[in-house]
Structure formats: C-alpha cells, structure tokens
Amino acid sequence: MDSAGQQDSPLSVTSNIVGILTFVVAIAAAIYARLTYLRNSDDEYFRVKTSLSWYKTESTWLSDLLRTLGAQHAHNGMVNARQREYQMYSFVMEDLINLEQRLLDLVAEVEVKASSPRGPSDRDGRWTLVPSWKRGTSVGMAWMSVRTKALELVRQREALTARVQFLQMSMISSRLSDLEARTKWGEFKTDENSRKMDGVAEGRKEDYRRLENLLQQLLVRNRQSVHMDELATDDESARRKSYIYSAIRS
C-alpha cells in the first residue's frame, strides 16, 4: 500500500501536464505578442522616417518662402503689422527646423543601434525574450527606446505645422486687406479724377457756348452791316439816277 500511495494519481498527472502546457502556451503567446509589437514598432519607425522626409521637403519650401518675403520686405520696407507677422513666422520656422533636427537625430540613433553587430539589447547587457539576430526586430527594439520622445516630437511638429498654416492664412488675409484698401483708394482716385474731368468738360462746354453766342452775335452784326451798306448803296444809286435824269430834262 505504501508504494501505491507514493504513486501520483491520474488527476494529479493530468493537472501537471495541463500546467506545463499552459506555461508553454503563455510563453509562446508572450513571444508572439512581443514579435508582433516589435514588428508594429518597425512599421511605425518607417512611417515616422517617411514623414520626416516630407517634413524636410515642407520646411525647405517654407524657408524659401520666408527668404522671399524677407527680400521683398527689405526692398519695399515693411509696416509694423507686416514686421510682427514676419518675426512670428521666422520664430515658428526656427522651432520647426529645430524639431526636425532632433527627430532626425533620433532616427539616426535608431539606425546606429539597429546596425550594430551585437544589437540594441545585447549592447546594454539586457536580456529579452526575443533574440536580436533579426534585422526587423533590431529596428523595432531600437525604436522602442526612443519611441515616446520621437512621437512627442512628431506631435509638436504637427502642432507647428498648424501654427504655420494659421500664420500663412493671417498673412494672406493681411495681403487681401491691403489689396482691398489699395483697390478702394484707386477707385476713390478714379472717381475723383472722373469728377474733375467732368468739371473740366462742363467748363469747356460753357466756354464753347459763350464762343458760339459770340460768333452768332458777330454774324448778326455782320449781316446788319452788310444790309445797311446795301441800303446806303441803293440810296446813292437812286440819287445818282435822279440827278442824271434831272440833268437830261434840263
């Protein structure tokens, strides 16, 4: 009976086997979850790297625009409102370029860690469930060490992009306001010149009327003078005829 008592019951053996299998499954699930997380981290890293490339292109365009605005303001001079807008735009662009440089440094750090022969985990002497012999896993593990900081920089970069867009809309609104003011001033000057021209035209019309009246008066006087001359000529002719006729009769 003692030997029978020392043997494990079937239920105990089954429980031990189930426990071992559960432990193995838990380890496999942890490894799978870790691999999936690292693979997602790898994809996230490349998305951030692609976004950084676009950020650099965008900042280059904005820097060229800023230099163009600076040259225009230096040539034409700037009012206080324009100067404040330009200074704010320059300040935001400096922050934007600094954030991009910090993000670029983090990406370069990830590249260095991922390309090291020992990998990012062995280099620090830490043990992980996932070996570092896989390239993608190495990138993901290197990305995990800077992920929080990098995503915060990406968030700040997006916020600065929104600020840049707001400043651009503000500058466009200022330009439109200036253009509207210039248009109104041009319309006012055009109306003023038109009124002046109308006044000059009315004055010329009045001068033309006076000249026409004067010409008519001169024509009337000329006609009267001609008529009087004709009458005087007729009287003289009649007197001569009368004188000749009386001389003939006598």
In degrees rounded to 5, what are phi and psi of residue 33? -65, -40
Selection from 145, 56, 65, 63 nearest residue 100 by Cα: 56
210 φ, ψ (degrees, to nearest 5) = -65, -45
pLDDT of residue 124: 46
pLDDT at 3: 47
Coil, helix or strand for 210? helix
Alpha carbon distances (Å) from 8 to 2, 222, 233, 249? 12, 156, 172, 195
Per-residue pLDDT of the chain (250 residues; tens, 9 = 90+): 444 444 557 767 777 787 788 888 888 888 777 777 767 777 888 888 888 888 888 888 877 777 777 666 665 555 565 677 777 778 888 888 888 888 888 888 888 887 775 554 444 444 344 444 444 557 777 787 888 888 888 888 888 888 888 887 877 777 788 788 888 888 888 888 888 887 777 777 787 888 888 888 888 877 777 767 666 676 666 666 676 667 666 6
How far is Cα of residue 57 from the mean position of the Cα atoms in its chain? 15
Q: What is the DSSP letter of 58?
A: H
